[in-house]
Structure 1
Amino acid sequence: MKNDIKQMKSLNFFVNTCNAETYNTIKPSLQVPKKIETPLLSWDIHQENHYKNLEGLDKENDFKELKFYIDKYQWKNDLKTLIDSYKYDALVVTDLNKRILWVSKGFTKMTGYPRKKVVLNTPSFLQGELTEEKVKKRIAKKIQLKKPFKEVIINYKKDKSPYKCELYIIPLINDVTTHFMALERAV
């Protein structure tokens, strides 16, 4: 084993110091040992797990930020379970007049708009030429019913590029509906 490692180091040194003509001559005879492939496969598994951990941390941070409003407005919804179980890119909380109270950091990643610029706006600032009027009317009617619903709408990023946005909107309730939360993801 030690001898194999010495030979590989010597070969690596030789290959790294030879000129292009010599390298092209010996290239067909160079083979990558199977043992070197394994770490790359395990890296893929590690990387996939790493991204899942990051997503979990993002959701945890979103909930920590949202907790301030949960406590302030005494919402009875089980938002922790909802956030943990639903796949989303951004969270948006609005008041009953549709003014944005809070957005998650994912909102900036998804739309390009900084958080500070969207507070007190209505989500309609994201709409544009390709946003269908009938979809906007459907959303408005469903919001009046104060029941959870899903809808897909075409919104626009800060750079004016359109994207399809799946909305999962739920009423936030203490004894009555006080706000709405949208779990949004680009589809």
Structure 2
Amino acid sequence: MNNFRQYEEAIAVYHNGLSVRKAPIFCWDFHNEFLTAVKSFFLDLKKLNSIASQNKWTQNNWDIENSLKDEVIIVTDAKLKIVFASQNIVKMNGYVEAEILGKSPKMFQGEATNQITSNEIRLAILDHKPFEKVVMNYKKNGEVYACLIKGYPVFNTKGDLSHYIAFEKAA
């Protein structure tokens, strides 16, 4: 027991003799934000993989992992009802996934949305063709923003239309 006390005293003397000054940590928010982002990324990836495997999506060459970091991914069923939205959607337009599930992506459109562009997207969807367009969308707070949308039809292993997937980011 005496040796342990001597060890503790020696450590205390050593630390007190260091010229390092301590600064209090006022906030760990930066760490919490990082952990939240990592958790959201893996949760989104798990949900997307689950949707893909349950519906037997055919192979595609999308870089889902990088897209989840930089873009918003929205998946609709074949009837254009939203079944998935990545967590980044909150940063882009203020909505959380629960608020938009089961709704049409048209909910983001309004008076400033160009009808010609909307019709071009609608025709691409009807023809089961990919598209890339910039659309004027609305945030939850009513603010207008330009949104670059890259949309793709998704087919299952039988060749039937299963879903649509869109990769979106503010333009």
Query: 2:91 corresponds to which residue?
Result: 109
Q: 1:183 aligns with which of 150, 167, 171?
A: 167
Matched, 1:84 2:52: no
Matched, 1:154 2:136: yes
Structure 2 matches for 1:58-77, cutoff 5 A? 59-77=41-59
Moved over 6 A (4+): 54-57
Q: Which amino acid aligns with 2:165?
A: M
Query: 1:15 corresponds to which residue?
Result: none
Shift of 1:109: 2.0
Q: Which amino acid aligns with 1:65?
A: K
**Separation of aligned partners in 1, 2:87 and 2:45:** 11
Q: 1:121 aligns with which of 103, 114, 118?
A: 103
Q: Which amino acid aligns with 1:173?
A: F
Shift of 1:147: 2.0
**Separation of aligned partners in 2, 1:83 and 1:153:** 22
Query: 1:130 corresponds to which residue?
Result: 112
Q: Which amino acid aligns with 2:102?
A: L
Contact 1:96 1:180 in 2 (8 A): yes
Larger Rg: 1
Larger relative helix fraction:
1
CA deviations 1:79-122 (Å, max 9, x no partner) are 6x421354742110011221111111111221111211101110
Unaligned runs of 5+ in 2: 1-18, 22-33
Q: Which amino acid aligns with 1:96?
A: A
User: What TM-score does the superposition give when structure 2 sets the normalisation length?
Assistant: 0.71
Shift of 1:55: 7.7
The count of aligned residue pairs is: 141
Shift of 1:146: 1.0
Unaligned runs of 5+ in 1: 1-5, 10-50
User: What TM-score does the superposition give when structure 1 sets the normalisation length?
Assistant: 0.65
Query: 2:13 corresponds to which residue?
Result: none
**Separation of aligned partners in 2, 1:131 and 1:164:** 9
Contact 1:77 1:172 in 2 (8 A): no
